[in-house]
């Protein structure tokens, strides 16, 4: 089985990009050479002492389900399965730190009690999927570089969050391959979100799937910003429905060589757009247009926008959009940068006049993005500040002076 073909394209590209940006190969090697271990051995000891190891002797039924999930996914690396005493319905996978070690998959007693055999096999397949995709490799690198996740720059935080969510959709595909029953997958998500048994409400998967379609349509009409680490259930269920009927899944069932599936890719692209919203208000969109157009106005004052200026502008825009480069290209290719700028300013001030100082502060930040002083940029700041924002000259001078003091750097150190 070609596991790489099963993975979602966006998940692969984001992981590769982030791994490269964080110099993952170098950091991974250094950590291995330094014999720096993660919490796997500690977690193994905790599970040995406080959990229940799933073995053929002690729990033959669960052991058989675990083995079946591994075999279905053709994953031959050593894995130990544990059940821990918790009413929470949850499971997790810990990637081994050393090839001589075993991976660990932990499931709660609450999950075992609530899920039937097929549903449990889906969950185990999902967790094995994380091991196959080596999700934890990138997470470990990020955790090493930023032990305090709150200090991760917004540009990277947004992309890491998106990657995490798409990685869950990825793992769901492995869950379905391990337990290819869409109805059971749907009841799985019902139990996860409700904590109830399906018999209690006479649950009907087809009706729940129709409700999922209604929710997806609502998400498409009403943009929303997702802050959780996992995609919302309607998106996960719809993604599995697409996968279950795809040529890719058919090729897996028939034992054929796995190939790319353009139709599935197109269906997934529409769903993945719903995961990419960072902000969800009209004002937020206008701010994006303001920053992008202001950045181009300031950077192009010398008729040339440098790669360094573009990269710094992308970092700032990374707080507003998952794909700042694509958004910048859209603004640049419009041929209407000043028109976009003026329209964004008018729209923002109409909705929130109190943002006038903030807008000019952003303009100063755009002008000082290269840590340099340029007389033409200063002139443009005065012109925009007076003609468009309506500031007095002394107010502008005071704000510009404060910005210079904060960001200017002498030539020798640039």
Tokens describing residue 46: 């905790």
Q: Which residue has the higher pLDDT, 320 or 185?
A: 185
Q: Are 104 and 93 in contact (CB under 8 A)?
A: yes
Contacts of 302 (CB under 8 A, 6+ apart): 374, 376
Q: What is the pLDDT of residue 281?
A: 75
Q: What is the pLDDT of residue 36?
A: 65
Does pLDDT of 363 surpass 70? yes
For 256-302, how does the pLDDT look when each residue is reduced to its tens digit (9 = 90+)? 877 778 999 999 998 898 888 766 678 888 988 998 998 888 887 76
Q: What is the pLDDT of residue 414?
A: 64
Q: Are 91 and 84 in contact (CB under 8 A)?
A: no
What is d(CA 298, CA 305) in angstroms, rounded to the nearest whole number? 9
Q: What is the mean pLDDT of residues 98-114?
A: 91
Average pLDDT, the chain: 88
> Residue 335: which pLDDT band, with cuts at 50, 70 and 90?
confident
Does pLDDT of 81 surpass 70? yes
Does pLDDT of 111 surpass 90? yes
Q: What is the pLDDT of residue 60?
A: 95
For 38-67, how does the pLDDT look when each residue is reduced to its tens digit (9 = 90+)? 556 677 778 877 889 999 999 999 999 999
DSSP bridge pairs for 91: 107
What is d(CA 240, CA 245) in angstroms, rounded to the nearest whole number? 9
Q: Are 93 and 119 in contact (CB under 8 A)?
A: no
Share of the chain above pLDDT 90, in %: 55
What is d(CA 227, CA 254) in angstroms, rounded to the nearest whole number? 38
DSSP bridge pairs for 93: 105
Share of the chain above pLDDT 70, in %: 95
> Residue 142: which pLDDT band, with cuts at 50, 70 and 90?
very high
For 366-385, how does the pLDDT look when each residue is reduced to its tens digit (9 = 90+)? 888 777 778 888 999 999 99
Torsion over CA: 312, 316, 319, 324 (sign)? negative
Q: What is the pLDDT of residue 366?
A: 81
Radius of gyration of the chain (CA): 26
Does pLDDT of 8 surpass 90? yes
For the chain, helix (H) and strand (E) counts, in that order, are: 21, 4
Q: Are 281 and 325 in contact (CB under 8 A)?
A: no
For 207-239, how does the pLDDT look when each residue is reduced to its tens digit (9 = 90+)? 999 999 898 888 877 655 555 668 889 999 999
Residue 76 CB-half CA count within 13 A: 1
Q: Which residue has the higher pLDDT, 99 or 165?
A: 165
Provide the residue count of the chain.
414
Does an H or E element contain 186, and which?
Answer: helix 182-194
Does pLDDT of 183 surpass 90? yes
> Residue 105: which pLDDT band, with cuts at 50, 70 and 90?
very high
Does pLDDT of 100 surpass 70? yes
From first CA to last CA, the distance across the chain in angstroms is 52
What is d(CA 383, CA 316) in angstroms, rounded to the nearest whole number? 23
- Structural domain spans, the chain: 3-273, 282-413
């Amino acid at each position: 089985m070609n596991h790489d073909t099963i993975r979602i394209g966006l998940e692969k590209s984001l992981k590769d990009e982030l791994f490269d940006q964080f110099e993952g190969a170098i950091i991974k090697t250094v950590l291995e050479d330094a014999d720096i271990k993660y919490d796997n051995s500690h977690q193994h000891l905790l599970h040995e002492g406080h959990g229940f190891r799933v073995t053929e002797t002690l729990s033959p039924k669960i052991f058989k389900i675990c083995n079946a999930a591994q075999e279905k996914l053709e994953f031959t690396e050593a894995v130990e399965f544990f059940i821990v005493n918790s009413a929470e319905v949850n499971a997790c996978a810990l990637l081994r730190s050393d090839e001589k070690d075993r991976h660990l998959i932990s499931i709660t007693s609450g999950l075992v009690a609530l899920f039937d055999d097929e549903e449990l096999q889906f969950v185990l397949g999902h967790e094995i999927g994380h091991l196959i995709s080596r999700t934890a490799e990138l997470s470990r690198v990020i955790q090493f570089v930023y032990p305090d996740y709150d200090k991760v720059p917004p540009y990277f935080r947004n992309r890491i969050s998106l990657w995490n969510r798409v990685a869950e959709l990825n793992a769901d595909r492995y869950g379905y391959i391990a337990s290819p029953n869409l109805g059971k997958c749907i009841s799985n998500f019902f139990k996860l979100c409700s904590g109830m048994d399906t018999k209690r409400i006479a649950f009907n998967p087809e009706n729940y799937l129709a409700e999922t379609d209604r929710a997806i349509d609502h998400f498409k009409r009403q943009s929303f910003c997702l802050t959780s680490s996992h995609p919302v259930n309607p998106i996960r269920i719809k993604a599995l429905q697409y996968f279950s009927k795809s040529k890719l899944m058919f090729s897996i069932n028939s034992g054929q060589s796995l190939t790319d599936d353009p139709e599935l890719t197109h269906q997934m692209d529409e769903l993945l757009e719903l995961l990419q919203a960072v902000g969800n208000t009209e004002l937020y969109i206008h701010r994006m247009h303001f920053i992008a157009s202001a950045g181009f106005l300031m950077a192009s004052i010398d008729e040339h926008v440098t790669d360094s200026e573009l990269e710094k502008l992308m970092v700032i825009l990374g707080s507003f959009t998952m794909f700042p480069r694509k958004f910048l290209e859209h603004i640049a290719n419009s041929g209407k940068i000043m028109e976009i700028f003026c329209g964004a300013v008018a729209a923002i001030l109409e909705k929130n006049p109190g943002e006038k100082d903030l807008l000019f502060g952003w303009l100063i930040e755009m002008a000082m993005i290269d840590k340099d002083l340029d007389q033409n940029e200063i002139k443009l700041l005065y012109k925009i500040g007076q003609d468009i924002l309506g500031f007095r000259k002394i107010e502008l001078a005071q704000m510009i002076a404060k910005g210079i003091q904060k960001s200017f750097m002498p030539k020798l150190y640039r």
